[in-house]
Structure 1
Amino acid sequence: MTEVRIERWSADDLELLRQLNAPEIRNHTGGPETDEQVIARHDRYVRGPGPRSGTMFTIVLPDGVKVGSVGYWERLWHDEPVYEMGWAVLPAYQGRGLATAAVRAAIAEAAAERKLRWAHAYPSVDNPPSNAVCRKAGFTLLGETEFEYPPGHLMRSNDWRVDLTDRS
């Protein structure tokens, strides 16, 4: 199994977030944000966990190199409170199973809270790598859906769900 650890987002992680804002990483999520938007996102992540900030982590290799982000936040989905999950890995580190390992670790963190039963991920139907992460991390595909991301923009996504109470 691929070795990574996840660490709570810190004030030192702004440059990582700027790197994760690259067009090739954000092409399935509405494209890059402005630097002001990135700074505002970073500030929310640092303030977290919380209602508008979620619970965000960096993805860290055994040698201490930070290669991505993973996290979860509350949302209403079909009138039910759930966690939404998201992740990103720098291009030089993609295809190594790092996102899958990090998502599994984040699922364990969310499950340990014993607050919500379900976590969902909504990758674009046109994003095979993120859909593969969902499958490999133990999510169940519920089907295609219209999903609003970024705000004001509907995209065709897959709705993946994992049961946080089934962590035996």
Structure 2
Amino acid sequence: MDGVGEWSGSDAERVRLIPWAEQDLWLLRRTNSPEMTAHLGGPESEEQLLGRHRRYTELRTGRMYRVALADGGETVGSIGYWQRTWRGAEVWETGWAVLAEFQGRGLAVLAARAVMRAARAAGPHRYLHAFPDVGHAASNAVCRRAGFTLLGQADFEYPKGHWIRSNDWRVDLEKGD
């Protein structure tokens, strides 16, 4: 389970991270709505979704997951971590999406804490960053509640041709949860 089964705390057992698989393309399609992608440049074309799905299934430095409820296994969203060069250093980056009907329950926070443990177990990077749009209140709240530290703001091109102003949140994986 890549270290994601080693939870602590009474709520942590509410979610499970399941490694992304070929049959998970439906989840990308489901989260490809104007509401779910408002802070990411809008919905992607089918070709873009297929490319992203392929990248998720073939990811070598990091891992993508489907997030499921621990009791019952119902899928609630996705999360992952991957390598990126940030300010001259190799770090992990994370991002997530929670289906609308499951938002507001703290599940993204639990998934973010679980992905921290997975990234820590995978090594070799000390830091895990998240870069939500500065105007995305819910994702910024997830970062704060999951234990990330706000370092400031940065400009990102995502997707290609679309610039966003993001907050740079970081957690030190060597310090633990």
TM-score (norm. length: structure 2) = 0.89
Contact 1:114 1:165 in 2 (8 A): no
Aligned equivalent of 2:164 = 155
| 1:82 alignment partner, SS class | strand
Per the alignment, residue 113 of structure 1 pairs with 122
Q: Which SS does the other structure have where 1:23 is aligned?
A: coil
Distance 2:156 2:36 in 1: 19
Counterparts of 1:68 and 1:96, CA distance in 2: 12
CA distance in 2, matches of 1:116, 1:158: 20
Matched, 1:56 2:64: yes
> How many residues align structurally?
165
2:39 counterpart (19, 28, 41): 28
Indicate if the aligned counterparts of 1:29 and 1:149 stay in contact, CA closer than 8 A.
yes
- The residue type equivalent to 2:39 in the other structure is H
5+ residue gaps, structure 1: none
1:40 aligns with 51
- Does 1:142 find its partner at 2:151? yes
User: Percent of aligned pairs with the same residue?
Assistant: 52
Post-superposition CA distance 1:78-136 (Å, at most 9, x none): 11111111000110110001111001101100001120001111101100000000001
**Does the Cα contact within 8 Å between 1:30 and 1:149 map onto a contact in 2?**
yes
The CA distance in 1 between the partners of 2:38 and 2:111, in whole Å, is: 21
Tell me the TM-score normalised to structure 1 length: 0.94
Q: Could you list the runs of 4 or more consecutive aligned residues of structure 1 that deviate by over 3 angstroms after TM superposition?
A: none
Equivalent residue letter for 1:15: W
Letter in 1 for 2:56: Y
